Amino acid sequence: MNNKLHKTAFLKALKEHDLSVYFHRNDHYILIKGGDSSRIVSVQLICSLGVEERLHDSHNGNVTSGIGRFKFTIPKWTDKINFYIFGFTNSENKSEFVCVPDEILRSRFQKLKRISDSGKTEMTLWLFSDRKVYDCTNISIEGEWYYLSKGVNGRMMDSTEWDYSEYLNNWTELIQQF
């Protein structure tokens, strides 16, 4: 799926949630709810780059339902973005969106020391059939086995800074900002 299709799916999702674009430049959008421009939310849509399964998918037999590979910039605090919205394709060729508040993403990336001085960073998300989403950027085969093997109490990545499951199609939290 290309960027144009992700953007179309993004605009459709906005409409379904009574949100509309007040202004946009490139992939930065100012959103309003119900035509009321007195309250705005700033989002950055980041579409997945091409994914090569042999490079970006599991090397340990874990079956993914979708992979998103993203390169983006986290701007300085003065250039406030309220939400980052990562668009990628699932195995059914439908767009999935991970909608993460700025303060959450920034905090996780700072903790993991993944923001360069210029703000540039990257992330690879894996979506599983149980609707769990994990940041698997540069995960090794041993790390994959240890953190992603599903045991009796779930996966080791559950409820860590690598777990983005609660942000999968997280339109409700975005709407609450209005």
Rounded CA separation 30/39 (Å): 10
pLDDT at residue 149 in the model: 84
pLDDT in tens, 143-171: 888 888 887 888 999 999 999 999 999 99
Could you give the C-alpha distances from 118 to 42, 72, 74, 75, 164, in angstroms and in order? 21, 11, 9, 8, 24
SS3 37: strand
pLDDT at residue 76 in the model: 74
pLDDT in tens, 47-86: 999 877 766 666 666 788 999 999 999 887 666 899 999 9
pLDDT at residue 112 in the model: 87
Rounded CA separation 162/168 (Å): 13
How much of the chain exceeds pLDDT 70, in percent?
Answer: 92
**DSSP structural state of residue 165:** G
Region 98-116: mean pLDDT is 92
Region 25-51: mean pLDDT is 92
pLDDT at residue 8 in the model: 94
Rounded CA separation 166/23 (Å): 28
User: Residue type at 48?
Assistant: S
Q: Is the pLDDT of residue 107 over 60?
A: yes
